[in-house]
Amino acid sequence: MDLTMHDMAQAHPSISQTIGVILHLEGTTPTLGELRTHVASHLGHEPRVTHYLHGPGLKARWRHDPDPDLNHRVREQHLPSGEQHLEAALTDLVAHPLPDTGPLWDMWLLTGDAPGRYAICLRAHHSTQDGMGLIGTLTTLFGTAPAPTTQPAPRAGAGAYLGTVRSMIAASATNNVWNDNALPLTGQRDISWAHVPTQRLRQAATVRGGDTNDGFLATLSGALRTWTSQSWPRGADRPLPAITMVNLRRAEEHDRPGNYCTFAPAPLPCHEPTVEGRLDHVIAATRTAKDPTRHKAMRSVMDLVPARAFQALATRLTTPDRATITTSYLAIHRPLRYKQDPVTRIQPFNWLPRHQPASIVACSYNGTTSVCFVTDAALPGLNQLPRLFHDAVDQLPHPPNDRQVPGQPPHTGVTPPRPAADRNTATVIDFALIKKILVQQGSLPAAPITPQATQAQAGIDSLAVALLSMSLEDRMGIVITEHELAKAPTVADLVNLVAQQAASPSDHESPAEQGPHPQADRPHAVPEA
């Protein structure tokens, strides 16, 4: 996939493929020299910042630069006081060219907009970094816990391979939504952000069997439903064609440069008039993309299909009559910091492929989900998606006694703890629930999982513990580290631990408030930017 992105970049040099993240930190702003020294001390542990593709198109090969010029790549921009100046600087940085020689990345220290705060912007080319790669780089440079290890995905059957090929072909079918001759897509892009409480997205989806990513996609569907009814009749009252990016990076590839993601169709149910209906449609549509066997099949297809075939498919997707909305979702569970200064919020940003109407990426961290909207400026009113997204969040079902102001995250991105009495208790924590998660998410055989069984007897290994930890947080907002879960001697003890934590007010704390949280940065259905 990285060769395909590299070839596209050379074929269409005017189209930026820059992706990245903006870290918002609280503390004393470091000097530029201190930040360069910090980055230099990690270069040997982060191949993604010392490797780059060199050569023409699909014939490019990786080159290694062990000592990239940090005077050129780590730079500073001092801003006037005021949040609006930071927003303007970020918008300018997204469009600013990357270094044109050597490794394709840089880092910017943004200071002066507010006392006691500063920002660090990490940018990279999509041919050498994908979403999970960026998370890995952030973990190396600013992490508080080592990256987890995982085990190979389960074996995929013939049905998974056939379904993968069919879905990829279906995603590139003609849809005629965006090829309006009166308003052709120009490639000139607008970029903007929305910031919403993660708990609002999560709770609306989990009560219906989904997760935070499902809440994000259903909310996006509601925003686009409003926009099409007001400004784009060609897309009104119909599902909008969309693809969602899926992480395929294996455990042994966690630190490799390159692009290890593919796409899966995820039509947005903008025709559905009710928010509950949109949630149900999205949850059903993403279920396949979350299947570990389907992930295995997707990766095998990506490895076996020649790069030229992927290039042809990418070209097919970037024709106006087949254009789709691109969506991505990232979740970062480990708290990040620069030395002792905590990262309080993360803003992602993405690129807009050729002849595409919109690319939308969401990133959940520290209680806030930041959503970046990159849209084609030719589409009337589409630059208002952040406002429409906030409106759609307000329409999500509220759990009982929810005191969070709809659509308005705390300024620091931290969701304050709430009393246990305010907790959504729609889901009962019992043996049946924990077993269901272990079987469905951990791919464990059901028979050995009994209340009296030890974790070893039940087949609960480190991967299953990690998946259980992630599922509990995603589905119910219950934060229990893998280390804590692994201490439970038996399955019954494991169930009791989860039930006790569910009843405790401490489970409403964000990962950053609790200190280091060594959880896997999991892909959900769409972990790529």
Beta strand pairing status for 61-64 and 18-26? Answer: unpaired
Closest CA to 193 of 332, 87, 111: 87
Residue 329 pLDDT more than 90?
yes
Nearest to 279 by CA among 170, 360, 393: 393
Q: How confident is the model at residue 114 (pLDDT cuts 50, 70, 90)?
A: very high
pLDDT number for residue 421: 32
| Dist CA 215 CA 383 (whole Å) | 21
Q: How confident is the model at residue 410 (pLDDT cuts 50, 70, 90)?
A: very low
- pLDDT band with cut points at 50, 70 and 90 for residue 295: confident
Q: What is the mean pLDDT of residues 264-291?
A: 91
Query: Which burial class, exposed, middle or buried, applies to 290 when counting CB atoms under 10 A from its CB (0-12, 13-18, 19+)?
Result: buried
pLDDT value, residue 527: 35
The residue ranges of every structural domain in the chain are 431-501
Whether 511 has a pLDDT exceeding 90, the answer reads: no
Average confidence (pLDDT) over 97-119: 93
Which of 3-7, 93-97, 313-317, 324-328 shows the lowest mean pLDDT across its residues?
A: 3-7
pLDDT band for position 267 (cuts 50, 70, 90): very high
> What DSSP assignment string belongs to 232-288?
-GGGTTSPBPEEEEEE---GGGTT--S--EEEEE--B-TT--SHHHHHHHHHHHHTG
Asked if residues 18 and 5 have their Cβ atoms less than 8 Å apart, the reply is: no
What is the predicted pLDDT for the residue at 214? 95
CA distance linking residue 346 with residue 291, whole number of Å:
28
In the predicted model, is pLDDT for residue 376 greater than 80?
yes
Residue 406 pLDDT > 50, yes or no?
A: no
pLDDT at 235: 94
Residue 515: is its pLDDT beyond 70? Answer: no
Phi, psi of 344 (to 5 degrees): -95, -25
Enter the pTM of the model: 0.76
Does residue 152 or residue 9 have the better pLDDT?
9
Residue 168 reports pLDDT greater than 80 = no
Using CA atoms, how far apart are residues 147 and 140, in angstroms rounded to an integer? 8
Beta-strand ranges (E) seen in 297-354 are 325-331, 337-338, 341-349
- DSSP annotation of 490 reads B
Average pLDDT over residues 279-306: 83
Span of 159-168, 343-352, 360-369, 448-457 with lowest mean pLDDT: 159-168
pLDDT digits 0-9 by tens, 187-201? 899 999 999 999 999
Calculate what percentage of the chain has a pLDDT beyond 70: 83
Residue 12's pLDDT band, with cuts at 50, 70 and 90, is: low
Between 357 and 512, the higher pLDDT residue: 357
373/232 Cα distance (integer angstroms): 17
The hierarchical CATH code for the domain 431-501 is 1.10.1200.10
Q: Among residues 402, 416, 407, which one has the least CA distance to residue 366?
A: 416
Res 277: pLDDT = 97
Confidence of residue 161 (pLDDT cuts 50, 70, 90): low
Distance CA 446, CA 458 (A): 8
At 7 the pLDDT is 56
Residue 142, φ and ψ in degrees, nearest 5 = -135, 10
Encoded tokens for 256: 């490799």
Q: Are the C-beta atoms of residues 209 and 475 closer than 8 Å to each other?
A: no
pLDDT at 389: 98
Query: Residue 378 — very low, low, confident or very high, per pLDDT cuts 50/70/90?
Result: very high
Please report which confidence band the pLDDT of residue 9 belongs to, taking 50, 70 and 90 as the band edges: low
Of 30 and 162, more confident? 30
How far is 428 from 502, CA to CA, in rounded Å?
10
For residue 528, the model assigns a pLDDT of 40
CA distances to 129, 312, 442, 456, 460 from 445, rounded to whole Å, are 36, 40, 9, 13, 10
Predicted pLDDT at 423:
37
Least confident residue range of 51-65, 210-224, 320-334, 342-356: 51-65
More confident of the two residues 447 and 516: 447
Residue bearing the bigger pLDDT, 310 or 135: 135
Q: How far is CA 147 from CA 6, 135, 143, in A?
A: 28, 10, 9
Span 427-454, average pLDDT: 85
3-state secondary structure of 351: coil
Average the pLDDT over each of 149-153, 175-179, 215-219 and give the range with the smallest value: 149-153
d(CA 497, CA 155): 32
pLDDT at 513 over 70: no
> Which H or E element spans position 312?
helix 307-317
Q: Is the pLDDT of residue 505 over 50?
A: no
Q: What's the whole-number mean pLDDT along residues 168-175?
A: 80
pLDDT of 305 over the 70 cut: yes
pLDDT of residue 14: 60
User: How far apart are alpha carbons 215 and 192 in whole angstroms?
Assistant: 20
Torsion of Cα atoms, 134 then 60 then 62 then 362, to 10°: 0
Q: Which two tokens stand for residue 204?
A: 């609306």
User: What are the Cα distances from residue 434, in Å, to 423, 474, 488, 489, 509?
Assistant: 19, 14, 13, 15, 22
Residue 522 has pLDDT above 60, yes or no: no
pLDDT for the residue numbered 316: 79
Per-chain mean pLDDT for the chain: 82
